[in-house]
Protein backbone atom coordinates (compact mmCIF):
# COMPACT_ATOMS: atom_id res chain seq x y z
CA UNK A 1 0.00 0.00 0.00
CA UNK A 2 1.41 3.38 -1.00
CA UNK A 3 1.65 6.30 1.39
CA UNK A 4 -1.15 8.80 1.78
CA UNK A 5 -0.45 12.18 0.16
CA UNK A 6 -2.35 15.30 1.25
CA UNK A 7 -2.64 17.79 -1.60
CA UNK A 8 -3.73 21.41 -1.11
CA UNK A 9 -5.47 23.38 -3.85
CA UNK A 10 -6.05 27.15 -3.37
CA UNK A 11 -9.54 27.70 -4.75
CA UNK A 12 -11.79 30.56 -5.71
CA UNK A 13 -15.28 29.34 -6.53
CA UNK A 14 -14.78 26.20 -8.60
CA UNK A 15 -11.46 27.40 -10.09
CA UNK A 16 -7.89 26.98 -8.97
CA UNK A 17 -7.03 30.44 -7.66
CA UNK A 18 -4.83 32.59 -9.91
CA UNK A 19 -2.64 33.43 -6.92
CA UNK A 20 -2.45 31.12 -3.94
CA UNK A 21 -1.97 33.91 -1.40
CA UNK A 22 -5.30 35.49 -2.30
CA UNK A 23 -7.42 32.33 -2.41
CA UNK A 24 -10.48 32.52 -0.14
CA UNK A 25 -10.18 28.82 0.73
CA UNK A 26 -8.08 25.71 0.33
CA UNK A 27 -9.32 22.30 -0.74
CA UNK A 28 -7.29 19.54 0.93
CA UNK A 29 -7.50 16.16 -0.78
CA UNK A 30 -6.04 12.94 0.61
CA UNK A 31 -4.78 10.69 -2.18
CA UNK A 32 -3.65 7.09 -1.92
CA UNK A 33 -2.73 4.78 -4.81
CA UNK A 34 -3.93 7.37 -7.33
CA UNK A 35 -7.39 7.65 -5.81
CA UNK A 36 -9.10 10.33 -3.74
CA UNK A 37 -9.66 9.03 -0.21
CA UNK A 38 -11.15 12.13 1.42
CA UNK A 39 -11.44 15.89 1.07
CA UNK A 40 -11.97 18.89 3.29
CA UNK A 41 -12.21 22.62 2.69
CA UNK A 42 -10.78 25.28 4.99
CA UNK A 43 -11.14 29.07 4.76
CA UNK A 44 -7.78 30.74 4.23
CA UNK A 45 -6.17 32.62 7.08
CA UNK A 46 -5.76 36.36 6.70
CA UNK A 47 -3.07 37.05 4.09
CA UNK A 48 0.27 37.68 5.76
CA UNK A 49 3.66 37.03 4.18
CA UNK A 50 4.94 33.60 5.16
CA UNK A 51 1.82 32.47 7.03
CA UNK A 52 0.15 30.08 4.57
CA UNK A 53 3.06 27.60 4.21
CA UNK A 54 3.16 27.10 7.99
CA UNK A 55 -0.65 27.02 8.21
CA UNK A 56 -0.74 24.25 5.58
CA UNK A 57 2.11 22.40 7.34
CA UNK A 58 -0.22 22.28 10.38
CA UNK A 59 -2.66 20.27 8.24
CA UNK A 60 0.20 17.91 7.28
CA UNK A 61 0.02 18.94 3.61
CA UNK A 62 2.59 17.21 1.39
CA UNK A 63 1.98 19.04 -1.89
CA UNK A 64 0.49 22.35 -3.04
CA UNK A 65 -0.91 22.71 -6.56
CA UNK A 66 -1.05 26.41 -7.39
CA UNK A 67 -1.51 28.86 -10.22
CA UNK A 68 0.58 31.89 -9.45
CA UNK A 69 2.96 31.98 -6.52
CA UNK A 70 5.78 34.30 -5.56
CA UNK A 71 9.40 33.18 -5.37
CA UNK A 72 9.59 33.81 -1.61
CA UNK A 73 6.44 31.75 -0.97
CA UNK A 74 7.84 28.93 -3.10
CA UNK A 75 11.01 29.03 -1.01
CA UNK A 76 8.97 28.91 2.22
CA UNK A 77 7.13 25.82 0.98
CA UNK A 78 10.47 24.18 0.25
CA UNK A 79 11.72 25.06 3.74
CA UNK A 80 8.52 23.61 5.25
CA UNK A 81 9.05 20.35 3.35
CA UNK A 82 6.00 20.87 1.13
CA UNK A 83 6.33 20.06 -2.58
CA UNK A 84 4.95 22.53 -5.11
CA UNK A 85 3.42 22.28 -8.57
CA UNK A 86 2.93 25.82 -9.92
CA UNK A 87 1.67 27.45 -13.09
CA UNK A 88 -1.54 25.41 -13.15
CA UNK A 89 -4.98 26.80 -14.02
CA UNK A 90 -8.53 25.66 -14.62
CA UNK A 91 -11.48 24.19 -12.76
CA UNK A 92 -10.21 22.57 -9.57
CA UNK A 93 -11.97 19.27 -10.29
CA UNK A 94 -10.20 19.05 -13.67
CA UNK A 95 -6.86 19.90 -12.05
CA UNK A 96 -7.45 17.23 -9.39
CA UNK A 97 -8.31 14.66 -12.06
CA UNK A 98 -5.12 15.51 -13.96
CA UNK A 99 -3.14 15.04 -10.74
CA UNK A 100 -4.78 11.68 -10.01
CA UNK A 101 -3.94 10.53 -13.56
CA UNK A 102 -0.32 11.61 -13.13
CA UNK A 103 -0.66 14.19 -15.89
CA UNK A 104 -0.05 17.37 -13.89
CA UNK A 105 3.30 19.08 -14.47
CA UNK A 106 4.71 22.21 -12.92
CA UNK A 107 5.62 25.01 -15.28
CA UNK A 108 7.69 26.51 -12.49
CA UNK A 109 5.99 29.84 -13.13
CA UNK A 110 6.60 32.31 -10.33
CA UNK A 111 4.93 35.67 -9.89
CA UNK A 112 7.03 38.78 -9.85
CA UNK A 113 5.86 42.02 -8.36
CA UNK A 114 7.16 45.30 -7.15
CA UNK A 115 5.70 47.37 -4.37
CA UNK A 116 5.23 51.10 -4.18
CA UNK A 117 5.36 53.46 -1.22
CA UNK A 118 1.64 54.10 -1.55
CA UNK A 119 0.69 50.48 -0.87
CA UNK A 120 0.13 49.33 -4.43
CA UNK A 121 1.78 46.32 -5.97
CA UNK A 122 1.99 45.68 -9.67
CA UNK A 123 3.14 42.54 -11.40
CA UNK A 124 2.07 39.39 -13.08
CA UNK A 125 2.93 35.73 -13.16
CA UNK A 126 1.33 34.97 -16.49
CA UNK A 127 -1.39 32.86 -14.84
CA UNK A 128 -4.08 35.47 -14.74
CA UNK A 129 -3.02 36.86 -11.41
CA UNK A 130 -2.04 40.45 -10.94
CA UNK A 131 -1.01 42.30 -7.85
pLDDT at 82: 96
Distant-in-sequence, close-in-space partners of 31: CB < 8 Å, separation ≥ 6:
4, 5, 6, 7, 37, 99, 100
Q: How far is CA 69 from the centre of its chain?
A: 8
What is the rounded CA–CA span in Å between residue 111 and residue 43?
Answer: 23
Q: Give the pLDDT score at 2.
A: 77
C-alpha torsion 78→83→87→92, nearest 10: -140
At residue 22, the pLDDT reads: 87
Per-block average pLDDT, block size 10, for the chain (131 residues)? 91 92 95 96 88 95 93 91 94 97 76 39 40 36
Domain holding 73, by residue range, is: 5-124
How many domains are contained in the chain? 1
Decide if 129 is inside a domain. no
pTM flag (> 0.85): no
Residue 85 sits in a domain of what CATH number? Answer: 3.30.420.130
Residue 32 lies in a domain: yes
Amino acid sequence: MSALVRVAFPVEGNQLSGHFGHAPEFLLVDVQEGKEVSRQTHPSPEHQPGLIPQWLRGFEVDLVVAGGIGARAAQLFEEAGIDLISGVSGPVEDVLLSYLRGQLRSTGALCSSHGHDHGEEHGSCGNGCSH
